[in-house]
Structures are given as structure tokens and as C-alpha cells.
A and B are shown apart, each in its own frame.
Chain A
């Protein structure tokens, strides 16, 4: 006979005798699962029993009440009573009730802790107060269980959710695999934790834990320190590593390279100052200039003197001279530790400084880009032929800037000077600025390069080209501009013409990006307050650039209040972007500002609010930010705001590009063309360089959209998505190039779409096909400069010259191995994929010339040979210089070279003023021509020098991709499954994981699959290393390759000799 009701047992609760009640409760405890609907009517009685202090079984009452509430679905109440049941609530039980309540317990605890720590709510619910201690007890018991079962990863995950740093530490102490757990925690910290404040605490803990390891993982540690914004400690680690041994110095160098890649300019400077204070940095007063990074800016004369000398050689050179002739002061200061070891350490320290100052990285990337430049000028020629209008003309010049970004090859401009002369006014400004793109990173000679356009020598130049020149200077030195900041400041204060001040502001903003230098900021603000629309726009933007990511409240106040005051839309727009930039990466700190902007009645300020959200949550993938943006994307009344809101989704979600197509697929079909445009751009930004199929599927139909600017956006976005892809990996890439050419040539196509097509073409082949667009660094952190570049690039909608900002986002896809002297040794990397998969796209085939394709492969080896000859010449020159006295013969040679070209001749093409054709281009080509025989002459002597082994290696490695292309085109046989790439090589993102280091001599400090600059440990330090020779900027490669691209003259027809022919 089964029981049909619990009424009888419940009646017992009414009794006075507590024994009876206890009996009833224990009975109810077993019955509750079946009769809970009935018992729930009397739950208040049970609660009263629990509260009755005299009742012996009050805990049992709590347990029964908890179970009843659990069945009723009131989990909060249930949890409350379960906790009061204390030991009766057995968390080790596997019953569903216990599991559920423990889950709720964890949820509640997380909520409380988050409220307490993130939102600083000190006063909890009264009820929460009561159970807090008990809650913590249960949680701790759960953790103990995790430890018992050695589920440390679970524990760490929950501990981070619960903001329990103590548990995290315990986990690390208890686990056997500390490295893995720490790395896991680090990943969680970076990717999951959204709250900035807690993240800082977490990182501090992690750093401490890393420090406690037997063999501290300095690479990860420095990553944490960057995020923590803690330069002194970073400096300390670097110093320690450098001072220890040669081997550990390699790690230090590697960290320094990573630092430079990931950290802001300001951070790097502070690391520098911290390092400069160390005893190792104390060096002869005379050489201080070379060592101290702040003063590393070479004056114009120095730059001239160093023109031909490789800086890599110069840096150790300077370092090696330093200890040899220590001045008496230094001797006095450190009499005790001037041992040999110390000298070596000092030398290493000097090398470290060159890395940290960024010179080395920029120089290596420049070398890489110059060496591997594969830009296909035929596309540009095709564009030039079909361009009829000033907008498309200007776009073509910009596209050229993109295609040759960082390669220093301005051959196209040289060849088409007359055509280039059609650019007038602001088009001229933009054209001049495009030189900045081309020479990006070519810092040592920047002033000389741009000399023809800078205000100082403004004999024949106009204000537009002067302004463009200053802007170009900024682009060259973008995010690394301590060298030119003062020069630009001076120009800004001296200039009167609008375009010049406009250019100066932009240049200054770029050069002083993220430094938060007050003097610069004040100078720009002065320009802003003159209330000139054109200057104000640039000034607003520049203020934001200078204060990038500082969240400086004073700056924000200045900008917002002026934006509300001024009448000029242009100025408001400039400031709007500026405000957004100021809040870069500040996450929830920007919420208040963003909210107030988003609620403004001025659409431009709302637009600024949208961008503020985008920048503040850049790369965070924050759901709340995306929700906010989506809200404005569909509700705002202003088209501009909606467009910006959709586009901003790309910024927030760029770390998970695969999510974006789904998210914007409906928006891409919106009735509103601005929203469609925004969707296209969001895809372009988030999926840049990924060639994601879903993104292409959405963008592809948009290239046929009914509205012209949507087509423009789709073409640009496709260019960004397909950058660097060849036809093998992604068939769409080939079609896209065709499509762009078709759009440009189509007579009926709208000029906006043509503009998009031209830019798209420029982007897809950017940087000589050796760069990709990436908003995150290799280690997965946000790349600040790139994000800024892409954001400001988007402003081309209002102001075409801002298009050039995109070149900030170009990241070389390089793999560069360096030895301990920071030189590139000759090594090979093996790419375990069919060569065609990651090959450069084939050159454009025109109907007129069919041989071109074939010629290119034949020619490259010649170029390479010539390159090598030159290098060897230079090396011998450098070697002799080294032996004798520093800067001896080479500087003399350089001096002669420069004197030969004459003071007026600038080594860049000058954009002709009106119809005047300058002699500059001729003279400059004359210099290169003159340099060639000299190089040939010197190689005669040097060829004997290298050992035969290295020679053979040299011939192998010197033709980088030709091995693969040769096999794929010439031989019909099966394609090999791998290809060999020689040291500074192009490795695409998808290719990275397939790359291994060849040969046994070198061993990488970190895995080569990460790519970028990798330090190599030499296993046979006694043997002589063969180094990769450096190439000269825009010298041989650009000039020669252009010539080489032309078909060889055909051999003469077979003929028969006859006397008649005479």
C-alpha cells in the first residue's frame, strides 16, 4: 500500500512536542520528492521551525525547506536554506538536487564577487550578507574537491570567474605542469576577462607567479607586463637577462622584439628611460647620443653620413667602439666592474636598445619589403590608362602608394611624371602624401627624401605639396616619430597656409601617436582654436592621435566642449574621431563618455559616440558593445551614425572574424544603403586577410548593388578580405582583380564604384604583396596602430587624403631569423605545402605581350645575383671600415655619391609643378646608374672571400621563391610537397603553422610557427656565419625590377650572310 498523502505527517508539525516534530521532519525529508506539492503548502511552518532557536533539528528543517523550494523552482530560496542546513547539505552527494544547488551556489557567488570587485558594490543584499560566509565555505569545499581530483584547469577557470586570486595561486602551486596552467590562465585573462581593473590585478598575480617559477617564462611575463603597463619591471627583466649571458640575451632580444610589436610608443619610451638609468647604460659621454633612445633622432647631417652604411652595422659598431675608449669619467664611476664580461654585456645592452627604440624592427621590415617586392606595375598601368577623372586619378596614385607601401619603390611615379602632374590642389596634397606610404619606415633618410616638398626649400613648391610633404613625413615616422616630432612642431608653428598647417597637424599626430606629449598636444590645440575648418579637422584628429588610448579627461573635455561650440562640421568630425581615439582600448572606462555622446542631439557627436564604443572595446568581442552598436545601427535617424555603427562591429569583433558574417548578413540586406555599406566594411575590417568564404559570399553580391557607394564599399572590403591571396588558395582573388579592372574600364560605371575598385586593387596587392592587414599582433593582442589606421582610413568618406592612413595597418608577413648580433644569417625555412598554395599571384597577362610571364622567372636570378654582388661589395666596404676607423672610407664614398647627385637632386620623383619638367628624375637615375659600375668593381675583390660552403648555400638561397615557381611553371611533372624559403621570407598567416627551420646549425628561441622576427641560437658559434646581405632602399630592386620586367629584346631572326648586305 503506497502512501497517497503526506497530510498525516504534516499534521505532526502542529504538535508541541519537539520530538514529534523532529520525527515528522525526518519523515518529510524522505517524502519530499514525491509529496512536495502538498508539503509546499506548509513550508512556512517548516521555515518557522528552522528559525526557532530552541528547536534541536532546525538544520533538518532548513534542508526540508530547501528541497521544497528546489522542487518549486525557487532556487534562490532553496540555496538560502541549503546553506543554513550546514553539514546536512552534503555537497559530495551526486543527487540532482545537490548538483543543481551547488551550481546555483557557484552562480550566486560569482555574481556577488563580481558585484563586489568589479562594480565596487560594498553593500550586499541583507540576505546575501547572511549567507556570504557559508557560501564561501561551500565554494572552498568545491575547490578542495577539484584539487583532489587534480582538475586544475576547471578550478582556474572558475576562480577567475569568481575573482579569487588566492585560488589561482594555490592551483599553480599544486599543479605539476605549472607552465601550461599559467599559459592557460594568461589566455583566459586576455580573452575572457572583460573588466579592466580585475584584469590588472590578475596580471599582477600572474607576473608574480611567473617570477616564482624555477625557470621563469620571460616571454609570457613580458606580455603580461605590457598589458599591465609596467615599464620598470619590463626593463628590469630585460636588464637581468642581458647582463647574465649571451644565451639569455637572445631571449631578451626576442622579448624586446615582441615588446616592440605589441606595446605602445609611450610604453617603449618608458622602458627606455628605465633602462637608461641602469649601470650598463653608463657609457662614454660622447656616445650618449647614439645610445640614448630619446636622442636617437639622427640629425640631417648624420643621416647623410649614414646613408650608405647599414645601421645594423653601425649600432654594434658604435657599441664596440664604446668600451675600447672609455673616457676617464666612466672609469671613475665604475672602477670595480669594468671587467671583460661587463664589456660584452654592455655590447649586448646596446643591441637591446636598438631593438627597443624600434630602429631594428623597422629596418628589418624595410629590408624584407624592399627585397621581396613583387608589386605588379602592370595593374597600375592598366589603371592609369583607363582613368579619366580627378577622383579616380587621385585614387590611382593612392593605390600606387598602397601597392608599394614600405617598398621604397617609386618607379611608377617616376615613369609617369607628366600624368602625375595632373594632380592639382588637394589632389597634389594627397599625391605627395602617398610618398609617405611608399617610404614608410624609411626613417633614416626621410628628411632628405622629402626635402623637395618640405616648406624649408619651398622655392617652387606650392602650399599643397608642402602640406602633403609634412603629412608624408608623419606617415613615414608613424608611431615611431621622436625623430621628427620637433621638426614638425616647428613647421606647424611657422606655417601660415592652410594646407601646410593641415599637413603638419596630421604629420604631427602620426609621429607623436600615443605619446601623450603635452607640448605637442598644446601646439595642435592652438591650431584648433583658430577655428579654421580645414586646419581644425586635421587638428581634432591629431589631438586624438597624440592622446591615443590615454583616456585623458582634460583632452576629452577640450575636444567635446569645442565640438559643441564650433560651427564647422569639418572640425566637429575631426574632433569626433579624435575623442574616439582617446578612449582606445579603455573598455568600460569609456562607457560614460560614449553614453553622453550617443545621447547628443548632434548626429556627428552620436557618430563620435559610436566610434568611441568601437575604439574602447576594440578587439574585446564584448557582447554589450555589440548590442549597443546594433541598437544604434537600426534605430538612429542619421544615416552616418547607422553606417558607423554597423562598421564598428568589425572593430569590436576582429578577433573572432568567423562570427561577423553571421552577425551582419541581415544588415547586408538592409533597405538602407548606408547600413549595407557599413556591413560590407565591418566584414572588411574584421575578416581582413582571412579570405573567409562566408564573408566573400556576402560581399560578392554587394559588388553588384544598385547603389554606387555600396559597390565602392564592397570592392574595398573585398580587397581587404582577399589581401595577399593568390588564385590557388582562394579562386575568388583572381576573379576579384579581373572584376576591379572591369569596373574601372566600364564607361557606364559610377565614379564612386571606380574609386572603390581602384583602392581595392591597391589593397589586395599592398606592400609589394608582402603585407597583410591585421588588427591584431601575432600574439593575439590588439595592434593599436593598425586599428587607428583602419578607423581613420574609413574617414575617406569625407576627406580623401585620409585614405593613406590604411598603410598603418599593413603588417609585413615576414619570417626573419636573426643571430645574436642581430644580423640575418643565411638559413632556410621549409614550408610544408605545395609551393603554388602560397605563391605570389601570377603577374597580369596582357594580350599584347605574352612572353612576360616567362621572362620574370628567368630574370629574378639575375637580379638576385646582382643584389648579391652589391651586398658583397658593401660588406667588404663595411669590413674595411670596421678595421680602420669608424665611418672612414664609407662615409667618404657616401659623400661623393651625394655630391655627385648634387644638392638639388632629390632621390624621389618630384611632382612637376604645372608644366615644368624637372631634371631631378634624370639626375637621380644617373646616381643609381653611377653606383652600379662601382659596385661591380668592388665585387671583383670580394668574391674570393666567402668560403665555398657558404657560396653554394648562397646560390641556393638567393633565389627565394624561384625554386618553387620554376618547378611549377616549367616542369609539367608533379609539384613538390614543400618549398624552401631563404631567410627574410614571406610567410602568410595560413602558411605559418607549416613552416619549420631547415638545417641543424640554428635553433629558434621561440617557435618559428609564430612568425615575425625570431632570434636564432647558434649551435656552432665557432664557425663562420654567412650573412644575408642588405639591400639598398629603392635602389637596385625597384629600378632594376622595373627594367627586368620589360621583355628581353628578341634574338635576331636567323639570316644568311651575303655580300649584298654590306
Chain B
């Protein structure tokens, strides 16, 4: 399972374990012995945090401002680490109205509910759909984290049905998360391919309702499901026929680009694949977050770059957290760069298992050709004219014919600037053209400018203008007027004084 979500999960779980250990340690420091009370305190704190998020949700619904909702969605990750049954039970009691089917469904997943600490605190207000989905999501996360997969699947199905009943734009972000965990829980249970029709249908609904978050998430889930089943063709078709929403959040965009990269690489469109992978890395979270995603993405990128004929940046292999996982790829790069077929073959042999696990094996195998191409290039650069037999021996090819074939392919692909003299059986290189005389630098420059402009445009769009901020200047305008009036007055007085003097 070399897909990014798996990696993501792994790192998250590691982090979670670390944080749990940490909190446990601090708890031990503060409250010796009385473990029960400490846990109750922690629960209360968690509960308060969740209540805070619910307030954010209410505010978001009231003001129709998405930024509050973004904050809530972001809080899901830290919150899930601190969840437990007791907290969820208390949440259900606090928020769900007295008797309702959704409450029963909610409580059915909590084993503690049956024992029933009967705190039937009446919900004060009507339960917002947003809040309900949020609480339901927390429950689903808890089930996933405690490895109750079967229950998680049924819980996610309930949530799926519930979210289908609403058509509220304020709900979009939360439903998008719900879709994701729906797919995730089915994947863990090994049933992802069975829910594809449902997801396709919901994708259509989301498109019609212009729910861009849902669209983006569902497209990614579908792609993932296709790729898992190696239905590359289907995935490619879906990508071609569906426009990915421009307003999609960054993390979905990163995933989408990664999947696209995989699809394009498999379709032999390496340069496009490279672009997508670069975008994916750019959009991915930086630092130590989403490390797994970056690892898998970089691996693929290295291979694709090699396939284009580029040499990956050395820096990429040195980055913290990437060095060890990328070590085989470093060796691969070195082999390709040197153009030595024997060395390449040994690297492949040694790391076959690793590459297969990373889903890059097939691409790596394709690299053989590149190794030869690099060899040809080096030969073409070194000799202005060389016989094809010599080329064959240098490249460890079987015959001069094969060398001719390789050279011809390289010329056609634009790898080398050379001509083949059939009769003489030689390969003669042309003078290398002055690159600066061509439009190439201008094109490169234009590309960079476009990129910068795009970044700028995006940041301008992301800017917020606080409402009614502009009225603050008005006080100063009034002051200025007063000052002017006073100045006029003094000027008048002065001129009068002048007259007095005469």
C-alpha cells in the first residue's frame, strides 16, 4: 500500500501515539495517583474544546463566513486524538434533542451508552445540521481510530445518507470530510470498489449544487479507488471528462495532482506527469506534516524526471525525513546519469521489492531506455564522428544495427543533434546551436513570469478586506477640517494685526 493516504495515516498515527505518551507523561507529573480524576479533567477539557468548535460552526452558519468552518475542519485532527467514549457520550447528551432517530443511531455506536450515565441534559437549541454532521464525524473518527472497522463502515454509511438529505452550502466543508472518511472506512474494510457507484452519483449531485469541496474530495476518492484496482483507463477517462473544481482546497488539489501524475506517467506522458507531481509537492503541506505524501510523491517524481531525461536535484535526496526512504532512488539516479547499463541493472535487481512496493517498478523498468539514451548523448557530445560499431561497444549493445536504431530514435526525440551516415556506418554530431540565439530563454522567462503572476493573483484573491474599515479615516478628515479652519482664522487675525500696525 504505497498510496499517500496510507502514508499519511501512518505518520498521523505515529504522531498520535507520541502525543498520547506526552499527555500521559504530563498527567503523571501533575496528578500523581488519582488517574481517574485526571482523565475526567482531560475529558472535560476536550469537551470544552469541542463545544468551542460547535460555537464556531454556529457562527459560520449565521454569518455565512467560510473561514470559521475552515477552522473547525482543521480542528478535527487534533481533536480526534483526544476523543473517547465518555466524551462522545456527553456530547450526544448535550447536543442531540431529547429523543430523535439520529441520536439513537449515534448512541448505538457507543458501548458506554447502554450502561447509561443518565445525564439527560436537554439540548437548549435546535440542532444545526452542521453541528450534527460534525459530531457524527467525530464519532466516525473515533471508531476508525479504535480499529472498529465494521462499525466504522456502518457509521459512515449513516453519515453518508444523512449528508445527502441536506442542501446547504455552509455544510460543504464538513460533508467533504464525511465523504473522505466514508471512502476511507470502506477502504480499510476492503470494500472501496463496491461504493464507487454511490460516489459517482454523489459527485454528480455535488456538481449540480456547486459544492466544490465535495466535488474535489469525491473525485480524489474515485481516482484512488480506480488506481487501487489498477483501472488506469477508467481513472484517465474520469479525469478527462470531469473538470476538477478550481476552488478546491489545497490538500485535495495536491492529491489530485499526484493521481494525475501517476496516470500520466503510466500513459507515457512524462513531462505532463512531472508537472503534475511538481504541483502536488508544491501544494502539499510543508515541514513535518504530510511527510508520507511527500515521500511517495518525491519518489515518483524522481523516476519521472529520469524518464524525461532530466537529472533530479540533489537537494531532494537530502531533505530531512526523505533521505532514507529515497536512498534506492538516489542510486538509481546515479546509474541513469552515468549511462552505465550494468550498474543500472544491478540497482534494479537489488531494489526490486522496494520499487514494487512503491508502485514505481514498471516505470523503473522503462528507464533502461533512458540509460542508453544518456549514453548516446555522451557519445555524441564526445565525438564529432564515431562509427556505429564503436557506439555499440560503448553502450554495451549487441550489434551496430541496434546502435543505429538507438541513435536514430535519439535523433528523432531531439536528445542529440546528429546525423547518421548509413554507408560509412558512422554517427556524426552537428555543431551545437547557440541556445541563446533561439526563443528558448524568452520562453523560459515567460514561463517564470506567468508563474509569478499566477502566484500573485492567487494571493490577491486570498486577501480579505474587513468590512467598514474605511470609515476610520473619516475622523481624521474632520480633524483636518478643523485644523484648516483654525489656520484660516489665525491667518485672518494676523492680517488684521498687520492693518493695526499701519
Q: Which of B240, B471, B489 is within 8 Å of A669, CB to CB?
A: B471
Q: Is A704 located at the chain interface by the 8 A CB criterion?
A: yes
Contact A706 B481 (CB under 8 A): yes
The segment from A35-43, A332-340, A373-381, A417-425 found at the interface with B is A35-43
User: Chain A 922-943 against B: per-residue CB contact (8 Å), 1 yes, 0 no?
Assistant: 0000000000000000000000
User: Main secondary structure on chain B at its contact with chain A?
Assistant: helix
Contact B241 A72 (CB under 8 A): yes
Contact A704 B237 (CB under 8 A): no
Q: Is B462 located at the chain interface by the 8 A CB criterion?
A: no
8 Å CB contacts to A: which residues of B237-263?
A: 237-238, 240-243
Q: Which of A2, A40, A704, A748 is within 8 Å of B193, CB to CB?
A: A2
Contact A4 B471 (CB under 8 A): no
Contact B471 A704 (CB under 8 A): no
Q: Which of B194, B197, B241, B471 is within 8 Å of A40, CB to CB?
A: B241
8 Å CB contacts to A: which residues of B162-212?
A: 193-194, 196-197, 200-201, 204-205, 207-208
B489 → A minimal CB distance (Å):
7
Complex: how many Å from CA A5 to CA B194?
14
Nearest opposing residue in chain A for B482, CB measure: A748
Q: Is B229 located at the chain interface by the 8 A CB criterion?
A: yes
Contact A33 B197 (CB under 8 A): yes
Set of chain A residues within 8 Å of B197, measured between Cβ atoms:
33-34
Q: Is A701 located at the chain interface by the 8 A CB criterion?
A: yes
Q: Which of A5, A33, A705 is within 8 Å of B233, CB to CB?
A: A5
8 Å CB contacts to B: which residues of A7-47?
A: 33-38, 40-41
Q: Is B488 located at the chain interface by the 8 A CB criterion?
A: yes
Q: Which of A4, A37, A669 is within 8 Å of B229, CB to CB?
A: A4
| Number of A positions contacting B (CB below 8 A) | 22
Q: Is B234 located at the chain interface by the 8 A CB criterion?
A: yes
Q: Is A73 located at the chain interface by the 8 A CB criterion?
A: yes
Q: Is A71 located at the chain interface by the 8 A CB criterion?
A: yes
Q: Is B478 located at the chain interface by the 8 A CB criterion?
A: yes
Q: Is A950 located at the chain interface by the 8 A CB criterion?
A: no
8 Å CB contacts to A: which residues of B83-115?
A: none
Q: Is B40 located at the chain interface by the 8 A CB criterion?
A: no
A216 → B minimal CB distance (Å):
43
Q: Is A96 located at the chain interface by the 8 A CB criterion?
A: yes
Q: Is A955 located at the chain interface by the 8 A CB criterion?
A: no
Set of chain B residues within 8 Å of A5, measured between Cβ atoms:
231, 233-234
Complex: how many Å from CA A824 to CA B234?
84
**Size bracket of the B interface:** 20 to 34
Set of chain A residues within 8 Å of B238, measured between Cβ atoms:
37
Contact B470 A37 (CB under 8 A): no
B80 → A minimal CB distance (Å):
32
A701 → B minimal CB distance (Å):
5
Contact A38 B474 (CB under 8 A): no
Nearest opposing residue in chain B for A99, CB measure: B208
Complex: how many Å from CA A706 to CA B484?
10
Contact B194 A34 (CB under 8 A): no
Nearest opposing residue in chain A for B235, CB measure: A37
Q: Is B435 located at the chain interface by the 8 A CB criterion?
A: no
Complex: how many Å from CA A308 to CA B156?
89
Complex: how many Å from CA A189 to CA B477?
47
User: Chain B 257-281 against A: per-residue CB contact (8 Å), 1 yes, 0 no?
Assistant: 0000000000000000000000000
Set of chain B residues within 8 Å of A669, measured between Cβ atoms:
470-471
User: Chain A 539-564 against B: per-residue CB contact (8 Å), 1 yes, 0 no?
Assistant: 00000000000000000000000000
Contact B242 A37 (CB under 8 A): yes
Set of chain B residues within 8 Å of A72, measured between Cβ atoms:
241
Complex: how many Å from CA A4 to CA B241?
18
Contact A36 B241 (CB under 8 A): yes
Q: Is A212 located at the chain interface by the 8 A CB criterion?
A: no
Complex: how many Å from CA A680 to CA B401?
87
Complex: how many Å from CA A704 to CA B480?
10
A82 → B minimal CB distance (Å):
15
Given A4-B229, A705-B477: A748 touches B237 (CB 8 Å cut-off): no
Number of A-B residue pairs, CB cutoff 8 Å, is: 57
Complex: how many Å from CA A5 to CA B230?
12
Contact B205 A96 (CB under 8 A): yes
Q: Is B485 located at the chain interface by the 8 A CB criterion?
A: yes
8 Å CB contacts to B: which residues of A41-60?
A: 41
Contact B201 A37 (CB under 8 A): no
Contact A704 B231 (CB under 8 A): no
User: Chain A 579-595 against B: per-residue CB contact (8 Å), 1 yes, 0 no?
Assistant: 00000000000000000
Contact A34 B196 (CB under 8 A): yes
Set of chain A residues within 8 Å of B471, measured between Cβ atoms:
669, 701
Given A38-B237, A748-B488: A704 touches B242 (CB 8 Å cut-off): no
Complex: how many Å from CA A36 to CA B200?
10
8 Å CB contacts to A: which residues of B262-315?
A: none
A148 → B minimal CB distance (Å):
25
A105 → B minimal CB distance (Å):
15
Q: Which of A38, A73, A96, A701 is within 8 Å of B234, CB to CB?
A: A38
B376 → A minimal CB distance (Å):
38
Complex: how many Å from CA A36 to CA B203?
13
Nearest opposing residue in chain A for B477, CB measure: A706
Set of chain A residues within 8 Å of B229, measured between Cβ atoms:
4
Contact A96 B204 (CB under 8 A): yes
Complex: how many Å from CA A748 to CA B196?
77
User: Chain A 687-710 against B: per-residue CB contact (8 Å), 1 yes, 0 no?
Assistant: 000000000000001001110000
Q: Is A176 located at the chain interface by the 8 A CB criterion?
A: no
Nearest opposing residue in chain A for B207, CB measure: A73
Q: Which of A4, A34, A71, A706 is within 8 Å of B480, CB to CB?
A: A706
Set of chain B residues within 8 Å of A705, measured between Cβ atoms:
474, 477
Complex: how many Å from CA A669 to CA B467?
13
Set of chain A residues within 8 Å of B207, measured between Cβ atoms:
73
Contact A34 B241 (CB under 8 A): no
Complex: how many Å from CA A96 to CA B194?
21
Given A701-B474, A748-B485: A41 touches B237 (CB 8 Å cut-off): yes
Complex: how many Å from CA A231 to CA B201?
59
Q: Is A493 located at the chain interface by the 8 A CB criterion?
A: no
Complex: how many Å from CA A2 to CA B194?
7
Contact B200 A33 (CB under 8 A): yes
Complex: how many Å from CA A41 to CA B471?
58
Complex: how many Å from CA A837 to CA B470?
35
Contact B204 A71 (CB under 8 A): yes
Q: Is A100 located at the chain interface by the 8 A CB criterion?
A: yes
Complex: how many Å from CA A73 to CA B243?
10
Nearest opposing residue in chain A for B208, CB measure: A100
Most buried by B among A37, A73, A704: A37
Contact B474 A704 (CB under 8 A): yes
Contact B241 A704 (CB under 8 A): no
Nearest opposing residue in chain B for A2, CB measure: B193
Complex: how many Å from CA A198 to CA B231?
57
Contact A704 B477 (CB under 8 A): yes
Nearest opposing residue in chain A for B231, CB measure: A4
Contact A37 B488 (CB under 8 A): no
Complex: how many Å from CA A41 to CA B241?
10
B482 → A minimal CB distance (Å):
9
8 Å CB contacts to A: which residues of B335-391?
A: none
Q: Which of A35, A41, A701, A748 is within 8 Å of B489, CB to CB?
A: A748
Q: Which 5 A-B pairs have the closest CB atoms?
A: A37-B237, A704-B478, A748-B485, A37-B241, A706-B477
Besides A37-B238, A706-B478, 18 new A-B residue pairs in contact (Cβ under 8 A), listed by A number: A2-B193, A2-B194, A4-B234, A33-B197, A33-B200, A33-B201, A34-B197, A37-B241, A38-B234, A40-B237, A73-B207, A96-B204, A669-B470, A704-B474, A705-B474, A706-B477, A706-B481, A748-B488
30 A-B residue pairs with CB within 8 Å: A2-B193, A2-B194, A2-B196, A4-B229, A4-B231, A4-B234, A5-B231, A5-B234, A33-B201, A34-B196, A34-B197, A35-B234, A36-B241, A37-B234, A37-B237, A37-B241, A37-B242, A38-B237, A40-B237, A40-B241, A71-B241, A72-B241, A96-B204, A96-B205, A100-B208, A701-B471, A701-B474, A704-B481, A705-B477, A706-B480
Q: A residues touching B (Cβ–Cβ < 8 Å)?
A: 2, 4-5, 33-38, 40-41, 71-73, 96, 100, 669, 701, 704-706, 748
